Structure 1
Amino acid sequence: MTAPPTDTTAPAGPPGGRATADGAVMRPLGPTERWYWLADQVSPYNGLARVRVRGELTADDIAAALAELQRRHPLLRAAVRPDAKGRPVFVAVPDRAAELRTGPLTDLDEQWVEELQERESGRPLDLASGPAFRAVLLSTPDGLTHDLLLVVSHVVVDASSLVSLLRECVTAVAPQGRGREPEREVLPPVEELIPRAHRTYRPAELLRTARSMVREQRRVRERAPVRIVGSERVPFAERRSGLVHRSVPAAALDALLAESRRQGTTVHGALGAALVRAAAEHAPDLFAPEDRPGPDGSMRITLGSPVDLRARLEPRVAPQEVGAFVSMLRTNVDHRPEREFWETARSITTDMRERREQSEDFCMLHISRWVVPRADKGVLRLLEAAEAANPQNLALSNFGRVDFPERDGSLRFSGVQLAASLGASCYLGAVVVTAHETANLNLNYLRRAISPETAVSVADRWHGLVMERCEAAGADGDGVAPTGRA
């Protein structure tokens, strides 16, 4: 078990309320940001990151680094409050420092998982007071090995900016690293950066979006996807996330990449095929009786895949810019027990490519603009309606290989991890990130609806299927040794 924290700090700050003279309004939230904010009102919606640091490091070092992050990124010194009409806006709260909790690091293998699952995933950030992030520093008694955890609201980060903030935090610790980066501007929300050719004031784009909605309705009519329900219906306000961690050597993932290319698909397609199969094989524990496989064992399962839009926006958005610049693509995957693995992987890749070619990722943003309310009213009814209408509550975010240094001065880094609070709408959400010669597979699950035993079994099967493909791909070379929970 994790030892209790030795120090908890939460600086006092202004109370939440309407945006008034106590803080300058930066800008209103965009539709996607509003959706995250609304969901967070009911169940915490946090991005989670971790890195292992070896070397001399103190809480004062991290506090100074967090202050430097706030200096560089205005949204990290902001609160979210309603304006006079009840619409959420970012408000500057420059005097409120990020919370930093410290504690002992007693288990070098599993403690970070327990810290994120038991202490940080389900603890909301006080967005009305700000700022929208906090940190945890766990250290061994000799002060030479540390786990640094960042918890940042999805209202202000996507995966790219979460990893960038983690990297900036540890590299800002060295005295020569502080203050090198200029203060950044507050960028507009993603909806205002959509390329002109895809703006909804163009009749062609409105038609494209309408056709996208019709195509999806037709797909559902042809064969309705099933959704995960688990063993019990958990009220939105009581939803909390669990976490199961597995890992794959980067060399194995390289073999999988080469084999995926030979098979005409992608690593994301392979990871998605393995995740869908693992879920289908656990149908009695995940799906309602009426949705479980028929005599032939077939199921249609919707897999959500977050899509990074930064390179396609106008102007392009750099990875280090804080903000939520993503959309979601939904792929209806037909699972059959006898279906060849690579056929399923190719179907995922092909479907995602076709949807992107049809600009469905931009269409999802247009739909958010139309359906997400401007104020915090009727949020529970909205979430209930969205859950009833949306068959996609299984998601896979494959972040790929990240550019994270192995050392900076006397500090050495390893074990970069990404995870997430599932918020109000997801039941199983997998996050994959590769750094420091390891691909980390983290499976987030809705607790109570899905038991820890089922989550571990699904994660083991997902990991096992991935390793089977890796080992098969490496059979003609040096081979690949399996790994598990490191």
Structure 2
Amino acid sequence: MRRKLLFAERMLHGNGELPFNAVIPIKIKGTFPEENLYQALRKLQEKHPLLNACVENDARGMPWFVVDEAVTASIPVRITERTGEEDWKNESMQEWSGVFNTRKGPLMRVVWIRGVEFSELILVIHHCLCDGGSAMAILAELLLLMDDGTANIGKEDPIMSIQDIIPAEILKSRKKMIKAKLIGGVATFALWIVPLKKHLVARKKDYMLHWKLEKELSDRLMLKCKSEKVTVNTVLCAAVLQAFQEVRKAGFHNKISCPVDIRRFAPRIKRDHIFAFGLMFVVSADQQLDFFGNARKMQADIDRKTAKLDAYDTIMMMEESHASLNRFTEFLKYGKSSNDCMFSNLGKIDIPHQYKNFELETIFSPSVIGPLGNTTTLVTSTYRGQMDFTFIASEGFIPYTEAVEIQNKIMEIINRL
């Protein structure tokens, strides 16, 4: 199998020498044989060809996912003994900086923090291979197979090109093709004429904050949002922006970027497809309004922007922009950050918690940190009725003490609603 990397995948892969890892930790109550984990990982690789892939450049320097069916490298597992409740945080942060050998593969590994009553598993996957949706699909299948090695998880028919994503009538539309080439060309030209200072922000130490809402508070927040006719996601966006404003003051940009699951707009990308491509919109607050007045205005803005998102146009335009990839990467690295953070809400995670041989006590919200500019990211998800937050940042962008203040402000705002 050979598949050329799409623009977004190339951007996340870079030259393969820097880490850009999605880290997905879970906590399990109960025990399972070591062989069950290895067998489950083998079956995942049997279903998903890209979990066997490495990345090779062709004669023109273009990277391809390559699977050699005659030589399959197993997903590696690192086992460490559990000493306490904080182990998963330390191991997660360690895994941020672990560089995959993308020329050799595979692009996934697992850390097992093994305990007597509780264990944590950490799935680490190169971000060029998967997004949050893919990661949750892999996790669901892994747990099912760990519990029952005979479970049938099917066989993925992998995405091989944009022809597998975009309907032919759109892909061959003369109007769409001209639009993609025009926008791609303009974007490429604009990137080349924008001057960049070749001075990287000193990232300094990376760190993580993690917290959960009690189930009662999670329920109360959801009911309040329903009564105010705004989504939980919008209210959280408003709370995050307010917290950044109150803490950062002159350093506040009033912008957060929000990724959107592309599967909502491109139905050919299935839930269990290994794929890494996100749509994005930017949200700002109206600081003249009260909290829910602002939230309702933000909701209207989000609804408008979501309605305008066009996955097919975006993919086609980006595929016409490969010539500008290096410049775009430089722009992200060296350009002045104008966003406060990226805010990603995975929503309710629909994975069972009770298995025959163990219980999935919790799924911690994933973390991801990469080399492309501002690392400040807040990820939230809801599992078993509890909202969970992971805040990732670097001292060079936001001092740790300010991040703690932002965390506390977000909680103050939520508790007041």
TM-score computed with the length of structure 2 as normaliser: 0.86
For the residues of structure 1 that align with 2:28 and 2:408, how far apart are their CA atoms?
28
Secondary structure, in 3 states, of the residue corresponding to 1:63? helix
Q: CA deviation at 1:464?
A: 2.6
Q: Which residue of 1 aligns with 2:261?
A: 308
The alpha-carbon deviation at position 130 of structure 1 amounts to: 0.5
How does 1:195-234 map onto structure 2 within 5 Å?
195=167, 199=171, 201-203=173-175, 234=201
Mapped partners of 2:122, 2:63: distance in 1: 28
CA contact (8 A) 1:68 1:179 kept: no
1:346 deviation in Å? 2.3
Aligned residue runs from structure 1 range 104-183, under 5 A: 104-108=81-85, 110-117=86-93, 119-140=94-115, 142=116, 144-174=117-147, 176-178=148-150, 180-183=152-155
CA, structure 1 residues 437+265, in 2 after alignment: closer, same or farther (shift >3 Å)?
closer
| 2:189 alignment counterpart | none
Which amino acid is 1:444 matched to?
I
Q: Would you say 1:328 and 2:280 are equivalent positions? A: yes
- The residue number in structure 2 matching 1:27 is 3
Superposition map of 1:236-255 within 5 A: 241-255=206-220
Distance of aligned partners of 1:37 and 1:125 in 2 relative to their CA distance in 1, 3 Å threshold? same
**C-alpha distance in 2 between matches for 1:413 and 1:319:** 21
Query: 1:422 maps to what in 2?
Result: 369
* Residue equivalent to 1:395: 342
The answer on whether the counterparts of 2:279 and 2:311 sit within 8 Å (CA) in structure 1 is yes
Question: What is the CA–CA distance in structure 1 between the aligned matches of 2:299 and 2:160, rounded to whole Å?
Answer: 31
Map of 1:340 onto structure 2: 290
Listed as ranges, the gaps of 5+ residues in structure 2 are: 187-198
Kindly indicate whether the alpha-carbon contact (under 8 Å) linking 1:418 and 1:431 is maintained by their aligned counterparts in 2: yes
Partner Cα distance (1:240, 1:307) in 2 = 29
Counterpart residue number, 2:413? 465
1:190 Cα deviation after fit: 6.0
Q: Residues 211 and 334 of structure 1: is their aligned pair in 2 closer, same or farther, counting only changes over 3 Å?
A: farther
Aligned partner letter, 1:84: A
Using a 3 Å threshold, how does the CA distance of structure 1 residues 184 and 261 change in structure 2: closer, same or farther?
same
Task: Tell me the alpha carbon deviations over residues 112-144 of structure 1, each in whole angstroms, 9 at most, x when there is no partner.
Answer: 112111x1112122211111110000112x3x3
CA drift of 1:394 comes to 1.4
What is the one-letter code of the residue matched to 1:384? E
**Is the 8 Å Cα contact of residues 355 and 361 (structure 1) preserved in structure 2?**
no
CA contact (8 A) 1:46 1:154 kept: yes
Following superposition, the deviation at residue 307 of structure 1 comes to 0.8
| Matching residue of 2:382 | 434
What do the CA deviations read for 1:394-425 (whole angstroms, capped 9, x no partner)?
A: 11111111111112112111110132222113
- Structure-1 residue corresponding to 2:271: 319
Q: Cα offset for 1:83?
A: 1.3
The structure-2 alpha-carbon separation of the partners of 1:340 and 1:203, relative to structure 1 and needing over 3 Å to count, comes to same
- After superposition, the Cα gap between the structure-2 partners of 1:211 and 1:44, relative to the gap in structure 1 and judged at 3 Å, is closer
Does the CA-based 8 Å contact 1:156-1:322 persist in structure 2? yes
Percent identity reads 20
How many residues get paired?
Answer: 401
The 8 Å contact of residues 306 and 326 in structure 1, kept in 2 or not, is answered as yes
Match of 2:165 among 193, 207, 211: 193
Runs of 4+, deviation exceeding 6 Å: 208-214
- Give the Å deviation of 1:260: 1.8
Counterpart contact for 1:282–1:458, Cα < 8 Å:
yes
State the distance in 2 between where 1:460 and 1:408 align.
Answer: 35
Go from structure 1 to structure 2 and tell me whether the alpha carbon gap of 1:42 and 1:250 turns closer, same or farther (over 3 Å shift).
farther
* In structure 1, C-alpha distance between the alignment counterparts of 2:79 and 2:141, rounded to whole Å: 19
Partner of 1:20: none
Q: TM-score, normalised by structure 1?
A: 0.75
